[in-house]
Amino acid sequence: MDSNPVRVVEFYSGIGGMHYALKRSGFSFKVIAAIDINTTANQIYAHNFPETQLLQNNIEAISVQQLDKFEADLWTMSPPCQPFTQKGRQLGAEDRRCDSLKELLRKIALMNKPPRHVFVENVVGFETSTVHADLLECLRGMGYGVKEYILSPMQFGIPNTRPRYYCLTSLQSSSSHSTSTILKTHKSCVEEIAGIEDFIEKGVDNSSLILDYQELNRFASSIDAVSSNSRRSACFTKSYGVYKTGCGSYFTSDENMIEENRILSSAIENAKVRLLSPREVANLMCFPEEFTWPHSTTSKQLYRTLGNSVNVLVVAKLIEEILTGFNE
């Protein structure tokens, strides 16, 4: 690959997970534009990347001419996942939140200077949708080589269960580097998984995050609990901190109080079980220490935007692959 910086456009840029993944990949790059409609996410993005052109635009309103003018080498995108989740009723292409992605696919086929690479992330379930079929039909029809994965941070040594669908495409790729099936492992996968303790804040007063006795007594049998020695945690969603169950793990410093990720009924009265802090969730999603947020950002907003973001380490490994032409 040449020495010129990779010109990147981030669609659905969120809080900057893709941008941090680009930094972690080690490639020289320049984000030409980051585009998102979410005000809170944009405030966090701008706080961390003030030099990047941030467009609070409806993606559907961007013209083919504007897309060509970017002269991007790489498009990254993590489109809304709700159309492909159970909570989102799995409406797929019928969900209006798919409209922007469908418009991008229509317009990329009309461009004079389409990007050399396109990188897509979404939830598991996207791969069985008609939108996925349209994505592949469009990009393969334009001559892109396509490689697909379903991967979790656990496979990369991070104690967090977050399986996600990834699509890597490149106009420079030979057909031998494309795949006809979705791969479930990657050359960067490791066997050893770190302990939760490596991601926990030390010496910080998190007393405000502790569940009171009534809450713990009510939900102890259904919440997912981890301790410092745990080698996994549940997937964090945008509803973490709003709903007590099904949105991510809770932490206790006493491993003797949990068994098979559940609080022992005999320990409820004395247990101190808390939410992980936004910083700890960011750590498990591999955001670097330099990632911060405006003082005005609430914990609810942080949990929501983190739950919609990507795992930086996993994406960095895949960006390395896409920018080297899918070489093994």
> Would you give the end-to-end CA distance of the chain in angstroms?
15
**What are the angstrom distances between the C-alpha of 115 and each of 159, 172, 178, 219, 241?**
34, 11, 18, 49, 39
* 3-state class (DSSP) for residue 106: helix
State the burial class of residue 186 (Cβ atoms within 10 Å of its Cβ: 0-12, 13-18, 19+). Answer: middle
**What are the angstrom distances between the C-alpha of 299 and each of 172, 209, 242, 281, 294?**
43, 10, 10, 11, 11
The catalytically annotated residue of 81, 138, 167, 247 is: 81
Question: Does the active-site annotation cover 138?
Answer: no
76 phi and psi angles, rounded to 5 deg: -115, 145
Q: Are strands 164-170 and 117-123 parallel, antiparallel or unpaired?
A: antiparallel
How many Å apart are CA 96 and CA 325, to the nearest integer?
Answer: 34
How many Å apart are CA 322 and CA 73, to the nearest integer?
Answer: 11
| β-sheet bridge partners, residue 121 | 166
CB 20 within 8 A of CB 287: yes
How many Å apart are CA 301 and CA 297, to the nearest integer?
Answer: 6
Of 313, 327, 310, give the one whose Cα is nearest residue 120.
310
Active site residues: 81
